[in-house]
């Protein structure tokens, strides 16, 4: 939470997307963004916003398609000797992942 607040300015937020690829079938993609897209929102009659998560002023946005792959997950910031990055940890939708933590396979 602290690192996200440090790097975002104004209306910026962290966007989490899931894409096909990586060594396990799917991969996480993080970016900074300022625009909430129509597919970031889901719910009956467009009333409920489920793809925007906020805590302590820090926001993470997930599009509807990606949300199915990360529902119930936790996002954390990891700082290591070789890299520093945001990562998805403890994803209940993932069956297994690669050692670098950026790709995963889905439970069926």
pLDDT at 27: 93
- Give residue 33's pLDDT band: very low, low, confident or very high (50, 70, 90): very high
Q: Which residues contact 99 (CB under 8 A, 6 or more apart)?
A: none
pLDDT at 31: 94
Give the tens place of pLDDT for each residue, 54-66: 888 888 999 988 9
| 76: nearest Cα among 98, 94, 101, 105 | 101
Global pTM value: 0.82
Strands (DSSP E) found in the chain: 13-20, 26-33, 52-55, 58-62, 74-79, 84-89, 94-97, 103-106
Please check whether residue 96 is in contact with residue 108, taking contact to mean a CB–CB distance below 8 angstroms. Answer: no
Average pLDDT of the segment spanning 3-23: 89
The domains of the chain are located at 1-106
Average pLDDT of the segment spanning 36-57: 66
CATH domain 1-106 topology: Hypothetical Protein Aq_1857; Chain: A; (2.60.300)
- Give residue 34's pLDDT band: very low, low, confident or very high (50, 70, 90): very high
- Give residue 48's pLDDT band: very low, low, confident or very high (50, 70, 90): very low
């Amino acid at each position: 939470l602290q690192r996200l607040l440090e790097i975002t300015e104004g209306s910026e937020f962290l966007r989490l997307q899931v894409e096909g690829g990586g060594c396990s079938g799917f991969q996480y993609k993080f970016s900074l963004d300022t625009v909430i897209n129509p597919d970031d929102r889901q719910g009956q009659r467009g009333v409920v916003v489920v793809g925007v998560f906020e805590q302590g002023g820090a926001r993470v946005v997930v599009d509807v398609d990606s949300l199915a792959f990360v529902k119930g997950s936790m996002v954390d910031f990891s700082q290591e000797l070789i890299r520093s990055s945001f990562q998805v940890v403890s994803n209940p939708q993932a069956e297994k992942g690669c050692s670098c933590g950026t790709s995963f396979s889905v439970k069926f």
